[in-house]
Structures are given as structure tokens and as C-alpha cells.
Amino acid sequence: MSTLIAYASKHGCTERCAEKLAQGLGDKVELYDLKSGKSIELSQYDKVIIGSSVYVGKVQKEATEFCTKNLDVLGSKKIGLFICGSQEGEALKLELDSAYPQELQAKAIAIDCFGGEFTFSKMNFMEKTIVKVISKTNKDTSNIKDDKINDFMHIMKNA
């Protein structure tokens, strides 16, 4: 069985999470950066995992466009969905519920948030300002949840 991990990352957190997931899933895994603009043939994959960072409550537009464009094909695959972000509790539930089309969420065998991080050196002025106000920090922080990645990986591996 072959697996595609399609991801959209703004500052690299989602890309690193996708890479960790790929390492744990084994040999027949391909990473696909949705921002690359390259075309991909989904028919060669049994499983498709889609991941994106979340900014201002929304996943990256490339992830949204990929899902919308390929909704019919994705419906015939084993699907996993993840986001990377720093929300917790009810705000996180809302982000997960609105991140991907309901048709994909209903079909997904794994849906989760892998946490997030702030890397100020990669942010523009506006992003830094927003993060400082919302998170009340001006320091790089990482809250990647390896246990969530491992749980997700085991579900997808055994599907």
C-alpha cells in the first residue's frame, strides 16, 4: 500500500510534522508540498494524508484548493487529516471542524492537531505583532505533540 502525505506549511512546522509522520509510516510514503505547484496522480495511492498549518482560523489556501479539486478521487481513498496550530480546547475543536470539507472529515480514519510553534525569525512584522498580542509571548516556542503524531501514524499504518 502506498501513502501520500500532502501538506501546506507556512514557516516549516507542518512540513516537519509531515516528515515525522512519513518516517514512521515506512517505505511507500511520498511527501508532497502543496505549495510546489507540481501535479500529482492520486490514483497511485491507497491512503492520502492532508496536513496544513492554521492561520487566523483557516488552513492554507493550497490545502483547501487541493481538497476541493480532488474531492471525488479522495472519496475513494483512506484519508487522514491533520492541522498544526497553537489553539487548545474549544477553539481547537472549532479549527478542526472547519479545516477540511465535511465529506472528507466524515470519511477520515484519523483527524488531529499536532500542535504548533512560533518562530519569530520566519515571521513578517504583522505576524509577529499578532502572535505577541494573542499568545502573549515574543519568544520562539514549540509545542509539537509527538504523541499525537505517533497515535495518528499507528491509526494510518493499521488502516
- pLDDT higher than threshold 70 for residue 129: no
Inter-CA distances, 28 with 3, 48, 80, 94, 102, Å: 6, 12, 16, 33, 28
Burial class (CB in 10 A: 0-12, 13-18, 19+), 143: middle
Phi/psi for 89 (5° steps) reads 55, -135
Residue range 136-142: mean pLDDT, rounded: 69
Q: 82 with 111: CB under 8 angstroms?
A: yes
- Please report which helix (H) or strand (E) contains residue 101, including its range: none
Residue range 24-50: mean pLDDT, rounded: 92
Query: How many other CB atoms are there within 10 angstroms of residue 63's CB atom?
Result: 26
Amino acid 96: pLDDT = 80
pTM of the model: 0.84
Residue range 45-65: mean pLDDT, rounded: 90
The CA distance from 51 to 33, in Å, is: 10
Amino acid 10: pLDDT = 80
- pLDDT higher than threshold 90 for residue 128: no
Q: What is the pLDDT of residues 94-116, one digit of tens each?
A: 778 889 999 999 999 999 999 87
Query: How many other CB atoms are there within 10 angstroms of residue 121's CB atom?
Result: 7
Q: Give 117's pLDDT tier (boundaries 50, 70, 90).
A: low
Please list the alpha-helical segments (H only) found in 110-145. Answer: 125-135
Query: In 3D, which of 57, 72, 62, 44 has the Cα closest to residue 6?
Result: 62
